[in-house]
Amino acid sequence: MHEHHDIVESDELFDNGTLYHLVPGNQGRVLDGRRTPGYIESFDIESCMFVWRITDFEDKGKCWEIPAEQIGSYQFRKSSKLLDGAVVEQISNQCEIFKERLNISCIEENLSDTELLISEAEEDAEYWLQNHSRFLKNGKNLDFSTEVGDADLYCDLEDYLSSKGLLELEKQTAEQYLLNPYSGEWIKGMKIVMAELGLVDYNGTVPRSSNIFAGNGSKVLRKQYIISRCAFLRAIFKYCKISEVPLYRGVASPIDFYETPISLLSTTFSADMAKEFASINDSTEYRSCYWAKFTIPIKNLFMTFLETQEFNERYKEQEAIIFYRR
């Protein structure tokens, strides 16, 4: 399903990552199934996050921003440089600060207010589609069986969000979610605003960056973007007379049970893709695996591969990101 090496170096050539390994230039790999190689490009003591530069596979050349305390999910070559003990203690103390929890529960009153705003924006999106949509002009319909989305629909979404001054937020959100939704603070900021809107619960850690809600990431712009994107999706599905969709999710985990996260959830329109992610047929290295099918109303959709160009460039996973609440 994804790029990998047929021959992988032995784990014995590497040490498990510790805070001592947070030295720019140290080379290693992620403790994932394919041992994705990379190196530490930089480390920021203020946020206690390191930049991991990927050196192979689909995301070669891309970067993740990773909290220092997650260094244990990486391996480093035995010749790697190590930090001084005093610096490690400073980093450890800083990491403790960022362990503070931030819990924002979904409030029905907020959700009702947000749904009203989305409904109003949906009327605007319907009018825009009637007058500007290439997808509708060409008489197309949504096809969930295709491996890639629709180029006309990509253009429609980008043109619509551009008319609202929100295209940059779309580009950053889509690319970050594709690359790694747990990298950096951008998606965390989205989840926090979504929780304040009543769309999801947020049960996570406090922001690590002082500028998480600065510039294009301001709460005002994030709110406008979330509402406008939801409105666009609802409008296009309404034109296609689709009120709900079947989705699938597959998970393989090295622990006994992988708890489904509450907020944004990655799913797929493809049952075969979910089974691949679950590794049901080759699960020797996993303690637990599952795949599931469920049907959701369109109002729970946030992003899909159908209208999101970035979701079709490096991976063909027929992905859908949904608002998930228990």
Residue 297 confidence (pLDDT) = 97
Domains of the chain, earliest start first? 11-99 (2.30.30.30), 102-324 (no CATH)
Residue 326 confidence (pLDDT) = 66
- In 134-237, DSSP assigns E strands to 202-205
DSSP class of residue 259? P
Contact 160, 43 (CB under 8 A): no
In which band, very low, low, confident or very high, does the pLDDT at 81 lie, cut at 50, 70 and 90?
very high
Helix (H, G, I), strand (E, B) or coil at 303: strand
Residues 136-173 as b/e (b if ≥16 CB within 10 A, e otherwise) read beeeeebeeeeeebbebbbbbbbebbeebebbebbebb
Helix (H, G, I), strand (E, B) or coil at 286: coil
d(CA 101, CA 111): 23
Contact 208, 49 (CB under 8 A): yes
pLDDT tens digits for 98-156? Answer: 999 999 998 999 999 999 999 999 999 999 999 999 999 999 999 999 999 999 999 99
Question: Percent of the chain having pLDDT more than 70?
Answer: 95
In which band, very low, low, confident or very high, does the pLDDT at 219 lie, cut at 50, 70 and 90?
very high
The answer to whether residue 186 scores a pLDDT higher than 70 is yes
3-state percent breakdown (helix, strand, coil) of the chain, nearest 5: 40, 25, 35
| Mean pLDDT computed over 214-221 | 97
In which band, very low, low, confident or very high, does the pLDDT at 1 lie, cut at 50, 70 and 90?
low
Residue 6 confidence (pLDDT) = 73
| Mean pLDDT computed over 75-85 | 96
269: exposed, middle or buried (Cβ count in 10 Å: 0-12, 13-18, 19+): buried
The pTM assigned to this predicted structure is: 0.92
The answer to whether residue 260 scores a pLDDT higher than 80 is no
At 42, list the tokens: 């930089």
Residue 276 confidence (pLDDT) = 86
Helix (H, G, I), strand (E, B) or coil at 62: coil
Give the strand order in the sheet containing 301-304: 288-297, 244-253, 263-268, 319-324, 301-304
